[in-house]
Every structure is written in C-alpha cells, then in structure tokens.
Amino acid sequence: MLHRSKHVTILNLVWGPHMTAMPHNHHMWATIGMYAGREDNIYWRVLPDGAKWPIEAAGASSFMPGDVGTLGPDIIHSVTNPLGKLTAALHVYGGDFLKQAREQWDEETLACRPFDTDIARRAFEESNRFLTGA
C-alpha cells in the first residue's frame, strides 16, 4: 500500500505467474497503470433473476506495460496474469478500497457472495509458491 484515505487508495500490486482473481467488484472507480507483465481482464454483467447463471462475460481487455486502464464503479471483472513471470501495476481506487464492502462471484458456480479477503490472500500466496517452486 502506497497511500490510503477515505478519498483514494493507491496500491502497488504484483501478481505472481498464472494468478487469477475471481470475478469481483469495487463499488468505486479504479485506474490501473501497468509497468510489467500483462493483466487480462474479463468484464461481467449481472443477468436477470431466473437466468441460468447470475453473471455472464460481457467483454475483455489486456493491459500491457505502459497501458492505463480505467474501471467504472459498477464494473465486475476477473483478472489473470497469463504469463510465467511477475506482473505489476499501480492501482488507484476512488475511496478507501480496504474498507469498502464489495462482492465476489464464485469461479465455478458464479454465485455471488460478500468479498472474502482471505480467499484473495490465498490466491496471492499460491501464486508466490508457484514462483518460488515451494
């Protein structure tokens, strides 16, 4: 974490090889400035009640070093580092990102539930183990 206030949070996020973050939202705008590796995003939309799945893929983008991507406050996205090396970016969020209640969607069933920081932390830890060969 580089900065945190009620108005803005700035994180220097480094993703390990092949790490994926399941679909999630932020409930605030975000700007991502890539400086190493690649980040592949799938954007999702919520479907009406009674649909086969609660969300569906609605678009995608890749961010490469030098790219700056923006996400609106209503965006749901999943993120993957498809490379066998580290990916890094500065993430700027329009609020207190660590305090904001948000949601995540299960990677297999796509069921919505409150965001679980322990699941996110484990994904980073598993990716780090892959990187170190532990």
Residue 134: pLDDT over 80? no
Which amino acid type is present at position 66? G
12-49 tens-digit pLDDT:
999 999 999 999 999 999 999 999 999 999 999 999 98
Q: Decide: 8 and 98 in contact? Cβ < 8 Å.
A: no
Between 9-23, 32-46, 78-92, 119-133, the lowest mean confidence (pLDDT) is in 119-133
Question: Which domains does the chain possess?
Answer: 3-128 (2.60.120.10)
119 pLDDT band, cuts 50/70/90, is confident
53-76 tens-digit pLDDT:
999 999 999 999 999 999 999 999
Which residues neighbour 97 within 8 Å (Cβ) at sequence distance 6 or greater? Answer: 4, 9, 11, 26, 28
Nearest alpha-carbon partner for 57 in 35, 70, 40: 40
Counting residues of the chain whose pLDDT is more than 90, the rounded percentage is 81
Residue 133 is predicted with a pLDDT of 67
